[in-house]
Amino acid sequence: MSRVRLLVATVTAVFTCLSSTLACSCVGGTTKDIYCRSDYAIAAKILSKTPISTNPWVHVYEYKFEVLENYKPSAELDAARQVIQATDADTLCGVLLSAGSNYLLMGYFSEDWKSDQSNQLVLATSSCNLNRELSSSAAVARTEAGHVMSFLNDGNFRCETRGSGNPSWRSIIERIVSRDLNANTEMK
């Protein structure tokens, strides 16, 4: 009987350690804090969603979008390929967006996960960033986003920090996806 208890306790401890090790962890903060840490802030309509990884454990999607409003203009945003890439893995702070929906999105610039586009920046986001679904009407979506971003109209508002760049889990995903995409290319 004591061996069974020991086995159950050991298995429970292992799973507890693994689940806490693989959990999403975000800095948090207010919308202003997230805005200041982000490289971009846009209201956008998601036009399409395409899987770009066939790895069974880490699904990565590419979302084509149309900008409704840009709340953080930059040369990088203008130069970036107009797609958002994100994983859906909860343990990696994943997020799922729906084609046809409008969102207020904040995130960071990243190298493209597609190996054939690796020299170009794309937009990336996670559940640690702001990803708020807005009204399906573009005009109403702009108004909703404008209310959330109204702090930008405060003459005293200043960011004490700039965009944070890539979160720590980014390199893990890149290795998994790169391996997955390279395996698919070799099979063709």
Has 159 been labeled as part of a binding site? no
Return d(Cα 166, Cα 61) in angstroms, integer. Answer: 17
Residues 69, 64, 94, 158, Cα dihedral to 10°: -20
Q: Are 38 and 70 in contact (CB under 8 A)?
A: no
Give the Cα-Cα-Cα angle 116, 117, 122 (nearest 5 degrees).
150
Q: Are 108 and 38 in contact (CB under 8 A)?
A: yes
List residues forming the annotated binding site.
24
| Residues that constitute the known binding site for Zn(2+) | 24
